[in-house]
Amino acid sequence: TVESVPAGQTLEACVEQEMQRPFDLEQGPLLRVRLLNLAADEHVLILTQHHIVSDGWSMPIMVDELVRLYEGYSQGREVLLAELDMQYADYAL
């Protein structure tokens, strides 16, 4: 869903508000996504996730893949991401 920044609020206030929202660890979601419309051709994607679903190693990978996918989409080309060598199930008990 694309949302507009509420009247009287700044982008920074929207981000801060999102950061302050608690996560329900039993019900989820543990990753929240908001797309804010700033102008006809300007948007901001806000990804907020609980620290138990990511780590310092995986965050740069996720951001890089999102950037690559967005660049491909905006240029009208398909982006193929590399297969993962491991999955969460490989480590789950």
Write down the H helix ranges in the chain: 11-20, 58-74
Looking at per-residue pLDDT, the higher value among 45 and 1 belongs to 45
Place 77 in a pLDDT band, splitting at 50, 70 and 90: very high
Question: Does the pLDDT of residue 47 top 70, yes or no?
Answer: yes
The mean pLDDT of 59-82, rounded to a whole number, is: 93
Which two three-digit tokens encode residue 57?
A: 């190693």
Provide the 8-state DSSP code for 30.
S
Domain edges within the chain:
1-52, 54-93
Q: Looking at residue 67, what is its pLDDT?
A: 95
Looking at 1-93, which runs of residues are DSSP E strands? 2-4, 31-39, 42-49
Whether residue 30 has pLDDT greater than 90: yes
pLDDT tops 90 at residue 55:
no
Question: Is the CA virtual torsion 71, 75, 76, 79 positive or negative?
Answer: negative
pTM assigned to the model:
0.78
Separation between Cα atoms, residue 13 and residue 29, nearest integer Å? 22
pLDDT score, position 1: 74
The 10 Å CB-count burial string (b at 16+, else e) for 46-79 is: bebeeeeeeeeeeeeeeeeeeeeeeeeeeeeeee
pLDDT of residue 93: 63
3-state secondary structure of 46: strand
